Amino acid sequence: MKVTRNMCLLPRAAWAGAAAALVACSPSHDETALFPLEPGQVWDYQVTTEIDGEPARREALTLHALEAADLGGQPAARRRSSTGAEYWLRRDETGIYRVAARSELEAEPTPDPARRYVLKQPYKPGTQWQAATTAYLLERHADFPREIRHTHPSIPMLYTIESTTERITTAAGQWSGCVRVKGTATVRLFADPTSGWRDLPLTTLEWYCPGVGLVRLERQEPVKSAFLSGGVLKMELMSWRAE
C-alpha cells in the first residue's frame, strides 16, 4: 500500500499506497463495477493522520483518472494523485493489478517486478493475495532515519476479502454491496530495552463500492514503546465527479 498497492511524506506515503488502489481504464462507465474504469473521473478524499502524542492532521488528496498510456508495448491505465505520484495498472480475468509506479521525484515509471494486485478474483469472501507494503506511520523517537519505511521498504502483507455486503456512507454518498478487504502484516523492531525485539502489527481496511471504487481506507500501526511511535490514518471519499 499500495493504496499500498502502496500506499510522499507521511501522510503522503500512505496516500500513494492508497492511490494505487484506484487505477484502471475502460471506454464506458459500469455502475456495478467495483472499479469505475474509464478516464476522466476525479476522486476527492480527506486524509486524517493521528500520530501518538500529536494533534490530528487533516489534509486533502485528489486522484485523477487519465487516458491510458503505452507501457512496454501494451496499454495501461494511469492515475495521478495531487501528491505528484502516478500509477499504471492493468486488469484481466485474475483481477486488477499495478504494473508500474512513478513518484513525484522520478522522471519515468518504475515497472513492478511482479503483479501487485489491488483486488484479486474471485471477488468473494475468503479470496487472498499477498503484496508488499511498508510502515507508513511508525517512527523512531531518536534514531535516524526516524521513519521505519526507510529501513523496511518492503514488508509482505496478506490481503483477504472479508465481506461483499457492506453498507457505507460518506460525504460523497451512500452505497451498498461494497467489498471490505483486510490486510495484515508484522514488522520486527527493537521496541525498547525492557521488551526488546517485537513483532508489531500493521493493519489495513479498505472498502470498495460498486460504480465508485475506493470510498474508505483505515491504516493502523499501533505501538507501546519508549523508543517508537505509531498511529492511525483514515482516508474517506468526500466527492466524486467526471470531468
**pLDDT tens, residue by residue, 34-92:** 877 689 999 999 999 999 988 999 999 999 999 999 998 999 999 999 999 999 989 89
E strand or H helix that includes residue 18: helix 12-19
Is 226 a domain residue?
Answer: yes
CATH number at residue 196: 2.40.360
Q: Is the dihedral of CA 61, 180, 136, 132 positive or negative?
A: negative
- Residue 51: domain span: 12-242
Is 3 a domain residue?
Answer: no
The per-residue pLDDT for 141 is 87
Rounded to the nearest 5°, which phi and psi values hold at 216?
Answer: -155, 145
Separation between Cα atoms, residue 100 and residue 155, nearest integer Å: 18
Query: If you average pLDDT over every residue of the chain, what do you get?
Result: 86
Distances (CA, A) of 97 to 13, 136, 200, 227: 19, 21, 27, 37
Is 144 a domain residue?
Answer: yes
